[in-house]
Amino acid sequence: MAQVYAFGDSITYGAWDIKDSGWANLLRKYFDDKAEKEPDFYGLVYNLGIPGETTEGLVKRFKSETEVRFRKGQEYIFLFAFGANDSAFIMSKGAFKVSVEDYVRNLGSVLGDAKSYSTKIALLNTTPVVEAVTAHVESKDKSRLNGYVERYNAPLQALAAKHNVPLLDVYSAFMQYDLERLFCEDGLHPNEVGHKIIFDLVQKQIEPWLT
């Protein structure tokens, strides 16, 4: 049996995707369809996305979330999709919510811990934003720009290589399209079209791990 642990923030949770409830839910539907067609297949997908979470929260909860679900002798797949909140610039403080250095350190720590459970681990970089909407959100004291996202995405390739895990380049996949087609009205959360792009990248990566 394969168990997928999808750790992330509100994007992983599927916020604002009224139709499909996000890419992790699409992955669960894919598992359900696969089980219906293949009697010998059985898998679980745990959507462990928490709206508003940063990598600081991930570090605090990774082991407890994993241990409570862990069963020896099963196959485990870990997916980590963080950065949308870490890279938010807090205007009143003049600083990012989590520094780039701490962001990389937090992810590196969790990747190291995940390797004690499984070798099937993938890292997703952060989706872009529609800057016309997210550049200055005064009501939330936050500014989000693609330049900020790129700053946080930049070190992930080296981090993934260091831990010998694949990096799914969600950012580049989105940038091939008119971004307004891929996002809800807040310019931050993907709509069903955007989530399908993420799902396709994830499904392609983990399919060989299911055999």
Cα radius of gyration (the chain): 17
Whole-model pTM: value is: 0.96
The tens place of each residue's pLDDT in the chain, 211 residues long, gives 899 999 999 999 999 888 889 999 999 999 999 999 998 998 999 999 999 999 999 999 999 999 999 888 889 999 999 999 999 999 999 999 999 999 999 999 999 999 999 999 999 999 999 999 999 998 899 999 999 999 999 999 999 999 999 999 999 999 999 999 999 999 999 999 999 999 999 999 999 999 7
CATH number reported for the structural domain that contains residue 53 in this entry: 3.40.50.1110
DSSP strand pairing (43-49 vs 95-96): unpaired
Let me know: does 203 contact 34? Beta carbons within 8 Å: no
Range of the domain at 20: 2-210
Please give the Cα distance from 65 to 204 (Å, whole number). 25
Q: What is the DSSP string of 100-164?
A: HHHHHHHHHHHHHHHTTT-SEEEEE------HHHHS-BGGGTEE--HHHHHHHHTTHHHHHHHHT
Cα dist from 192 to 15, 36, 91, 210, whole Å: 10, 24, 30, 25
In the block, tokens 């403080």 appear at 93
Largest CA distance in the chain: 55
Question: How many folded domains does the chain comprise?
Answer: 1
